Structure 1
Amino acid sequence: MTVAQTDVTLHEFETLAASAPESLRVELINGRVLVTPAPDGDHDENVMSVGDQVRAHDPGLRMYQERGLAVPAYPAGRARVDGAVAPLGNFRGQPSWADASGVLMVVEVTSGSEKDADVDRVDKRDAYAQAALPVYLLVDRHRGEVVVHWEPEGGRYQYSGKAVFGAKLRLPEPFGFDLDTSDLA
Protein backbone atom coordinates (compact mmCIF):
# COMPACT_ATOMS: atom_id res chain seq x y z
CA MET A 1 0.00 0.00 0.00
CA THR A 2 1.33 3.45 -0.88
CA VAL A 3 0.05 6.59 0.83
CA ALA A 4 0.79 9.92 -0.84
CA GLN A 5 0.96 13.11 1.13
CA THR A 6 2.74 16.14 -0.28
CA ASP A 7 2.84 18.44 2.73
CA VAL A 8 4.41 16.25 5.40
CA THR A 9 7.28 17.80 7.32
CA LEU A 10 10.46 15.90 8.07
CA HIS A 11 9.58 15.93 11.79
CA GLU A 12 6.09 14.52 11.07
CA PHE A 13 7.61 11.82 8.89
CA GLU A 14 10.19 10.81 11.51
CA THR A 15 7.43 10.60 14.14
CA LEU A 16 5.34 8.40 11.84
CA ALA A 17 8.30 6.17 10.94
CA ALA A 18 9.26 5.71 14.60
CA SER A 19 5.73 4.60 15.51
CA ALA A 20 5.18 2.23 12.56
CA PRO A 21 4.94 -1.49 13.41
CA GLU A 22 7.80 -3.79 12.37
CA SER A 23 5.55 -5.33 9.72
CA LEU A 24 5.63 -2.07 7.71
CA ARG A 25 8.34 0.03 6.07
CA VAL A 26 7.82 3.78 5.97
CA GLU A 27 9.85 6.00 3.62
CA LEU A 28 9.76 9.59 2.39
CA ILE A 29 10.66 9.66 -1.32
CA ASN A 30 10.32 12.82 -3.41
CA GLY A 31 7.89 14.34 -0.90
CA ARG A 32 5.64 11.26 -0.71
CA VAL A 33 5.20 8.98 2.28
CA LEU A 34 5.46 5.37 1.13
CA VAL A 35 4.19 2.53 3.30
CA THR A 36 4.98 -1.02 2.21
CA PRO A 37 5.00 -4.47 3.82
CA ALA A 38 8.23 -5.69 5.40
CA PRO A 39 10.42 -7.84 3.10
CA ASP A 40 9.96 -11.63 2.80
CA GLY A 41 12.67 -14.30 2.92
CA ASP A 42 13.29 -14.45 -0.85
CA HIS A 43 13.74 -10.68 -0.81
CA ASP A 44 16.41 -10.98 1.89
CA GLU A 45 18.18 -13.81 0.05
CA ASN A 46 18.42 -11.67 -3.09
CA VAL A 47 20.03 -8.81 -1.16
CA MET A 48 22.45 -11.25 0.50
CA SER A 49 23.42 -12.80 -2.86
CA VAL A 50 24.40 -9.40 -4.25
CA GLY A 51 26.18 -8.46 -1.02
CA ASP A 52 28.17 -11.70 -0.90
CA GLN A 53 29.38 -11.16 -4.47
CA VAL A 54 30.38 -7.55 -3.77
CA ARG A 55 32.33 -8.60 -0.69
CA ALA A 56 34.03 -11.46 -2.57
CA HIS A 57 35.15 -8.97 -5.21
CA ASP A 58 36.26 -6.33 -2.68
CA PRO A 59 36.61 -7.47 0.97
CA GLY A 60 36.67 -3.83 2.11
CA LEU A 61 33.04 -3.31 1.09
CA ARG A 62 29.90 -4.35 2.93
CA MET A 63 26.21 -4.62 2.12
CA TYR A 64 24.25 -2.93 4.88
CA GLN A 65 20.66 -4.24 4.82
CA GLU A 66 17.60 -2.18 5.72
CA ARG A 67 19.79 0.90 6.14
CA GLY A 68 18.03 4.22 6.68
CA LEU A 69 19.49 6.92 4.43
CA ALA A 70 18.86 10.64 4.26
CA VAL A 71 18.32 11.05 0.53
CA PRO A 72 18.18 14.72 -0.36
CA ALA A 73 15.34 15.20 -2.83
CA TYR A 74 12.36 17.52 -2.95
CA PRO A 75 11.49 18.46 -0.23
CA ALA A 76 13.53 15.95 1.77
CA GLY A 77 13.95 12.22 1.66
CA ARG A 78 14.29 9.28 3.95
CA ALA A 79 14.77 5.88 2.33
CA ARG A 80 15.03 2.55 4.08
CA VAL A 81 17.06 0.88 1.34
CA ASP A 82 17.15 -2.88 0.93
CA GLY A 83 20.93 -2.70 0.66
CA ALA A 84 23.57 0.02 0.82
CA VAL A 85 27.07 -0.93 -0.34
CA ALA A 86 29.72 1.13 1.41
CA PRO A 87 33.21 0.71 2.83
CA LEU A 88 33.46 -1.19 6.10
CA GLY A 89 32.85 1.20 9.00
CA ASN A 90 31.10 3.82 6.84
CA PHE A 91 28.05 3.98 9.13
CA ARG A 92 29.89 3.98 12.44
CA GLY A 93 28.56 6.85 14.56
CA GLN A 94 25.78 7.63 12.07
CA PRO A 95 22.16 8.20 13.16
CA SER A 96 19.32 5.91 12.06
CA TRP A 97 18.81 8.10 8.95
CA ALA A 98 22.45 8.20 7.89
CA ASP A 99 24.26 10.49 5.47
CA ALA A 100 24.33 8.76 2.07
CA SER A 101 27.56 10.36 0.85
CA GLY A 102 29.75 7.27 1.44
CA VAL A 103 27.36 4.86 -0.27
CA LEU A 104 28.72 3.41 -3.54
CA MET A 105 25.62 1.47 -4.55
CA VAL A 106 22.00 1.20 -3.44
CA VAL A 107 20.21 -2.10 -3.96
CA GLU A 108 16.43 -2.46 -4.07
CA VAL A 109 14.38 -5.63 -4.58
CA THR A 110 10.79 -5.41 -5.75
CA SER A 111 8.15 -6.86 -3.48
CA GLY A 112 4.40 -6.67 -3.11
CA SER A 113 2.32 -6.28 -6.23
CA GLU A 114 3.40 -5.35 -9.76
CA LYS A 115 1.90 -1.85 -9.37
CA ASP A 116 4.03 -1.27 -6.25
CA ALA A 117 7.19 -2.15 -8.22
CA ASP A 118 7.08 1.18 -10.07
CA VAL A 119 8.14 2.87 -6.83
CA ASP A 120 11.47 0.98 -7.12
CA ARG A 121 11.65 1.28 -10.92
CA VAL A 122 10.93 5.00 -11.17
CA ASP A 123 10.48 6.95 -7.91
CA LYS A 124 13.47 5.54 -6.05
CA ARG A 125 15.66 5.47 -9.16
CA ASP A 126 15.00 9.18 -9.68
CA ALA A 127 15.50 10.06 -6.00
CA TYR A 128 18.82 8.19 -5.88
CA ALA A 129 20.00 9.90 -9.07
CA GLN A 130 19.03 13.30 -7.62
CA ALA A 131 21.04 12.39 -4.50
CA ALA A 132 24.01 11.56 -6.78
CA LEU A 133 24.30 7.99 -5.49
CA PRO A 134 26.83 6.47 -7.92
CA VAL A 135 25.10 3.15 -8.70
CA TYR A 136 21.52 1.90 -8.32
CA LEU A 137 20.84 -1.83 -8.71
CA LEU A 138 17.28 -3.10 -8.94
CA VAL A 139 16.41 -6.78 -8.59
CA ASP A 140 13.01 -6.83 -10.31
CA ARG A 141 11.29 -10.03 -9.21
CA HIS A 142 8.16 -9.22 -11.22
CA ARG A 143 10.04 -8.99 -14.51
CA GLY A 144 12.70 -11.61 -13.68
CA GLU A 145 15.58 -9.23 -14.36
CA VAL A 146 18.28 -7.13 -12.75
CA VAL A 147 18.79 -3.53 -13.83
CA VAL A 148 21.79 -1.36 -13.00
CA HIS A 149 21.88 2.43 -13.36
CA TRP A 150 25.04 4.51 -12.98
CA GLU A 151 26.73 7.86 -13.47
CA PRO A 152 24.16 10.32 -12.12
CA GLU A 153 24.26 13.74 -13.71
CA GLY A 154 21.66 16.49 -13.56
CA GLY A 155 19.35 14.35 -11.43
CA ARG A 156 19.28 11.42 -13.88
CA TYR A 157 21.35 8.31 -14.39
CA GLN A 158 23.19 8.52 -17.68
CA TYR A 159 23.61 4.77 -18.25
CA SER A 160 21.79 1.55 -17.51
CA GLY A 161 22.11 -2.13 -18.28
CA LYS A 162 20.04 -5.20 -17.53
CA ALA A 163 20.08 -8.97 -17.57
CA VAL A 164 17.44 -11.63 -17.08
CA PHE A 165 17.76 -13.85 -14.03
CA GLY A 166 20.40 -16.49 -14.76
CA ALA A 167 22.57 -14.26 -16.94
CA LYS A 168 25.59 -12.23 -15.87
CA LEU A 169 25.30 -8.47 -15.46
CA ARG A 170 28.41 -6.29 -15.66
CA LEU A 171 28.53 -3.82 -12.78
CA PRO A 172 30.16 -0.47 -13.50
CA GLU A 173 33.15 0.91 -11.64
CA PRO A 174 33.98 1.06 -8.80
CA PHE A 175 32.84 -2.57 -8.88
CA GLY A 176 33.88 -3.75 -12.35
CA PHE A 177 32.80 -7.37 -12.14
CA ASP A 178 30.07 -9.59 -13.57
CA LEU A 179 27.21 -10.10 -11.12
CA ASP A 180 25.96 -13.70 -11.20
CA THR A 181 22.15 -13.54 -11.14
CA SER A 182 21.52 -17.31 -11.13
CA ASP A 183 20.61 -17.33 -7.40
CA LEU A 184 18.05 -14.54 -7.72
CA ALA A 185 14.34 -15.23 -7.60
Structure 2
Amino acid sequence: MTPRTEQQPQMSVEEFEELERHAPETVRLEFIQGKVQVKGVPDGNHSEIYMWLLEQCMQLRPDLRLYPERGVKTESYRKGRARADAILVPRRSLKGHGEWSDGAGVIMAVEITSYDSDTNQRDRIDKPDGYAAAGIPVYLLIDRDDCSVVVFNQPEKGRYRHQEKLPFGARVKLPEPVDITLDTEPLKEFAD
Protein backbone atom coordinates (compact mmCIF):
# COMPACT_ATOMS: atom_id res chain seq x y z
CA MET A 1 0.00 0.00 0.00
CA THR A 2 1.17 3.50 -0.79
CA PRO A 3 1.24 5.76 2.27
CA ARG A 4 -1.23 8.62 2.26
CA THR A 5 0.17 12.12 2.16
CA GLU A 6 -1.58 15.27 3.28
CA GLN A 7 -2.25 17.63 0.42
CA GLN A 8 -3.07 21.29 0.50
CA PRO A 9 -6.78 21.63 -0.39
CA GLN A 10 -7.69 23.50 -3.56
CA MET A 11 -10.15 25.57 -1.53
CA SER A 12 -11.98 25.60 1.78
CA VAL A 13 -15.09 23.53 2.40
CA GLU A 14 -17.12 26.75 2.51
CA GLU A 15 -15.77 27.84 -0.89
CA PHE A 16 -16.59 24.41 -2.32
CA GLU A 17 -20.17 24.52 -0.99
CA GLU A 18 -20.65 27.94 -2.59
CA LEU A 19 -19.27 26.66 -5.92
CA GLU A 20 -21.49 23.57 -5.75
CA ARG A 21 -24.61 25.64 -5.04
CA HIS A 22 -24.05 27.56 -8.28
CA ALA A 23 -23.10 24.62 -10.50
CA PRO A 24 -25.56 23.77 -13.29
CA GLU A 25 -27.90 20.83 -12.68
CA THR A 26 -26.06 18.78 -15.31
CA VAL A 27 -22.88 18.81 -13.18
CA ARG A 28 -22.44 16.99 -9.86
CA LEU A 29 -19.48 18.14 -7.81
CA GLU A 30 -17.70 16.52 -4.87
CA PHE A 31 -14.87 17.69 -2.63
CA ILE A 32 -12.72 14.67 -1.83
CA GLN A 33 -9.28 14.81 -0.21
CA GLY A 34 -9.04 18.54 -0.82
CA LYS A 35 -9.85 18.38 -4.54
CA VAL A 36 -12.96 19.27 -6.49
CA GLN A 37 -14.14 16.32 -8.55
CA VAL A 38 -16.86 16.06 -11.16
CA LYS A 39 -19.06 13.01 -10.79
CA GLY A 40 -20.63 11.50 -13.89
CA VAL A 41 -24.37 11.73 -14.41
CA PRO A 42 -25.92 8.26 -14.05
CA ASP A 43 -26.98 6.26 -17.10
CA GLY A 44 -30.09 4.09 -17.32
CA ASN A 45 -28.46 0.90 -16.00
CA HIS A 46 -27.06 2.86 -13.04
CA SER A 47 -30.60 4.03 -12.24
CA GLU A 48 -32.00 0.51 -12.62
CA ILE A 49 -29.40 -0.81 -10.15
CA TYR A 50 -30.38 1.89 -7.67
CA MET A 51 -34.08 0.93 -8.03
CA TRP A 52 -33.23 -2.76 -7.53
CA LEU A 53 -31.42 -1.91 -4.30
CA LEU A 54 -34.22 0.41 -3.16
CA GLU A 55 -36.79 -2.37 -3.64
CA GLN A 56 -34.60 -4.81 -1.68
CA CYS A 57 -34.19 -2.38 1.21
CA MET A 58 -37.89 -1.54 1.33
CA GLN A 59 -38.87 -5.22 1.42
CA LEU A 60 -36.24 -6.39 3.90
CA ARG A 61 -35.87 -3.33 6.15
CA PRO A 62 -39.02 -1.17 5.99
CA ASP A 63 -37.71 0.80 9.00
CA LEU A 64 -34.92 2.25 6.83
CA ARG A 65 -34.85 4.63 3.87
CA LEU A 66 -32.50 4.60 0.87
CA TYR A 67 -32.08 8.17 -0.39
CA PRO A 68 -30.45 8.81 -3.78
CA GLU A 69 -27.83 11.43 -4.61
CA ARG A 70 -27.34 12.57 -1.03
CA GLY A 71 -24.55 14.90 0.10
CA VAL A 72 -22.46 13.53 2.98
CA LYS A 73 -19.76 15.19 5.06
CA THR A 74 -16.74 12.89 4.89
CA GLU A 75 -13.09 12.56 5.84
CA SER A 76 -11.48 13.56 9.09
CA TYR A 77 -13.00 16.64 10.70
CA ARG A 78 -15.68 16.60 7.96
CA LYS A 79 -13.41 18.33 5.44
CA GLY A 80 -14.82 16.37 2.50
CA ARG A 81 -18.11 16.47 0.68
CA ALA A 82 -19.18 13.33 -1.20
CA ARG A 83 -22.36 12.94 -3.18
CA ALA A 84 -23.20 9.30 -2.52
CA ASP A 85 -25.24 7.47 -5.11
CA ALA A 86 -27.38 6.50 -2.11
CA ILE A 87 -27.35 6.48 1.67
CA LEU A 88 -29.30 4.18 3.96
CA VAL A 89 -30.61 5.80 7.12
CA PRO A 90 -33.32 5.20 9.70
CA ARG A 91 -36.72 6.58 8.72
CA ARG A 92 -37.11 10.35 9.21
CA SER A 93 -33.49 10.82 10.21
CA LEU A 94 -32.83 13.48 7.53
CA LYS A 95 -35.45 15.84 8.90
CA GLY A 96 -33.86 19.25 9.39
CA HIS A 97 -30.69 18.36 7.44
CA GLY A 98 -29.34 20.73 4.82
CA GLU A 99 -27.61 19.83 1.59
CA TRP A 100 -24.77 17.99 3.36
CA SER A 101 -25.62 15.45 6.08
CA ASP A 102 -23.24 14.41 8.82
CA GLY A 103 -22.07 10.83 8.30
CA ALA A 104 -22.92 9.92 11.91
CA GLY A 105 -26.55 9.06 11.09
CA VAL A 106 -25.77 7.10 7.92
CA ILE A 107 -25.65 3.32 8.32
CA MET A 108 -24.62 2.57 4.72
CA ALA A 109 -23.22 4.57 1.82
CA VAL A 110 -23.67 3.16 -1.70
CA GLU A 111 -21.74 3.80 -4.88
CA ILE A 112 -22.51 2.31 -8.28
CA THR A 113 -19.57 2.68 -10.65
CA SER A 114 -19.92 4.86 -13.70
CA TYR A 115 -18.01 4.52 -16.90
CA ASP A 116 -15.80 7.58 -16.50
CA SER A 117 -12.08 8.10 -16.10
CA ASP A 118 -12.23 8.94 -12.37
CA THR A 119 -14.32 6.01 -11.14
CA ASN A 120 -11.33 3.90 -10.06
CA GLN A 121 -9.80 6.57 -7.84
CA ARG A 122 -13.09 8.00 -6.62
CA ASP A 123 -15.23 4.92 -5.90
CA ARG A 124 -12.58 2.30 -5.07
CA ILE A 125 -9.97 4.39 -3.19
CA ASP A 126 -11.08 7.86 -2.07
CA LYS A 127 -14.66 7.17 -1.09
CA PRO A 128 -14.00 4.12 1.11
CA ASP A 129 -11.51 6.20 3.10
CA GLY A 130 -13.86 9.18 3.30
CA TYR A 131 -16.85 7.12 4.37
CA ALA A 132 -14.77 5.22 6.93
CA ALA A 133 -13.42 8.49 8.36
CA ALA A 134 -17.02 9.72 8.66
CA GLY A 135 -17.82 6.61 10.73
CA ILE A 136 -20.29 5.10 8.26
CA PRO A 137 -20.52 1.43 9.32
CA VAL A 138 -21.03 -0.09 5.83
CA TYR A 139 -19.97 0.99 2.35
CA LEU A 140 -21.50 -0.96 -0.54
CA LEU A 141 -19.76 -0.66 -3.90
CA ILE A 142 -21.62 -2.10 -6.86
CA ASP A 143 -18.84 -2.38 -9.41
CA ARG A 144 -20.11 -2.69 -12.96
CA ASP A 145 -16.60 -2.86 -14.43
CA ASP A 146 -15.85 -6.30 -13.03
CA CYS A 147 -19.43 -7.38 -12.20
CA SER A 148 -18.87 -7.51 -8.46
CA VAL A 149 -20.29 -6.27 -5.20
CA VAL A 150 -17.82 -5.12 -2.56
CA VAL A 151 -18.91 -4.74 1.06
CA PHE A 152 -16.66 -2.61 3.27
CA ASN A 153 -17.25 -2.53 7.04
CA GLN A 154 -15.60 -2.08 10.43
CA PRO A 155 -14.41 1.53 10.04
CA GLU A 156 -11.41 2.39 12.16
CA LYS A 157 -8.96 5.30 11.93
CA GLY A 158 -10.17 6.40 8.51
CA ARG A 159 -10.09 2.95 6.88
CA TYR A 160 -12.40 -0.03 6.67
CA ARG A 161 -10.75 -2.99 8.38
CA HIS A 162 -12.78 -5.56 6.43
CA GLN A 163 -13.94 -5.89 2.86
CA GLU A 164 -15.53 -8.73 0.94
CA LYS A 165 -15.83 -8.90 -2.85
CA LEU A 166 -18.39 -11.19 -4.46
CA PRO A 167 -19.47 -11.64 -8.10
CA PHE A 168 -22.84 -10.59 -9.43
CA GLY A 169 -25.16 -13.54 -8.80
CA ALA A 170 -23.88 -14.26 -5.27
CA ARG A 171 -25.88 -13.81 -2.09
CA VAL A 172 -24.35 -10.82 -0.32
CA LYS A 173 -24.74 -10.40 3.43
CA LEU A 174 -24.67 -6.76 4.51
CA PRO A 175 -23.48 -6.75 8.13
CA GLU A 176 -24.97 -4.96 11.13
CA PRO A 177 -26.41 -2.41 11.43
CA VAL A 178 -27.80 -2.97 7.91
CA ASP A 179 -28.50 -6.69 8.35
CA ILE A 180 -29.80 -7.45 4.85
CA THR A 181 -28.91 -10.31 2.52
CA LEU A 182 -29.06 -9.37 -1.16
CA ASP A 183 -29.62 -11.77 -4.02
CA THR A 184 -27.47 -10.08 -6.66
CA GLU A 185 -28.51 -12.30 -9.59
CA PRO A 186 -30.57 -9.45 -11.15
CA LEU A 187 -27.43 -7.28 -11.38
CA LYS A 188 -26.14 -9.45 -14.23
CA GLU A 189 -28.78 -7.87 -16.45
CA PHE A 190 -27.38 -4.37 -15.84
CA ALA A 191 -23.65 -5.09 -16.19
CA ASP A 192 -23.40 -3.70 -19.72
Aligned to 1:50: 53
Amino acid at match of 2:90: P
Q: Which amino acid aligns with 1:55?
A: M
Contact persistence 1:90–1:102 (CA under 8 A): yes
Greater alpha carbon shift after TM alignment, 136-145 vs 14-23: 14-23
Counterpart amino acid of 1:52? E
Q: CA deviation at 1:114?
A: 5.5
CA–CA distance in structure 2, aligned partners of residues 81 and 54 of structure 1: 16
Residues 152-178 of structure 1: CA distance to partner in whole angstroms, max 9, x if unpaired? 012111111121111211111123332
Q: Is the 8 A contact 1:43 1:111 kept in 2?
A: yes
Distance 1:166 1:114, change over 3 A: farther
Offset of residue 50 of structure 1: 1.6
In structure 2, the residue matched to 1:65 is 68
Range with bigger deviation, 152-161 or 171-180: 171-180
> How far is 1:117 from its partner?
2.7
Q: What CA distance in whole angstroms lies between the structure 2 residues aligned with 1:121 and 1:15?
A: 27
Asked if the contact 1:162/1:169 (under 8 Å) is kept, the reply is: no
Secondary structure of 1:39's counterpart equals coil
1:30 is aligned to 33
1:13-39 superposed Cα distances (whole Å, 9 cap, x missing partner): 012111212222100112111112211
Q: Deviations over 1:23-58 (max 9, x none)?
A: 221001121111122111211221221222122111
1:139 to 2:142 alignment: yes
1:124 counterpart residue number = 127
Is contact 2:154–2:160 with CA below 8 Å preserved after alignment? yes
Unpaired segments of 5 or more residues in structure 1? none
1:80 equivalent among 56, 78, 83: 83
Residue 163 of structure 1 aligns with an amino acid whose one-letter code is L
> Partner residue of 2:158?
155
Identity of aligned residues (%): 44
For residues 42 and 51 of structure 1, the distance between their equivalents in structure 2, rounded to whole angstroms, comes to 14
Letter of the aligned partner of 1:137 in structure 2? L
1:73-124 Cα offsets, whole Å, 9 max, x none, are 3671111110000011010111011222111000001102365333100100
Amino acid at match of 1:7: Q
Structure 1 segments of 4+ aligned residues over 4 angstroms from their partners: none
Which residue among 168, 175, 178 is the counterpart of 2:178? 175
Deviations 1:46-71 (A, max 9, x none): 12212221221111101000011122
Residues 144 and 152 of structure 1: CA distance in aligned 2, closer, same or farther (over 3 Å): same
Q: Which residue number in structure 2 is paired with residue 105 of structure 1?
A: 108
Q: Which residue number corresponds to residue 20 of structure 1?
A: 23
- Aligned with 1:183: secondary structure? helix
Q: How many residues align?
A: 182
Query: Which amino acid is the alignment partner of residue 65 of structure 1?
Result: P
**Greater Cα offset, 21-30 or 144-153:** 21-30
- The alignment's C-alpha RMSD in Å is 1.8
SS in 2 for 1:119: helix
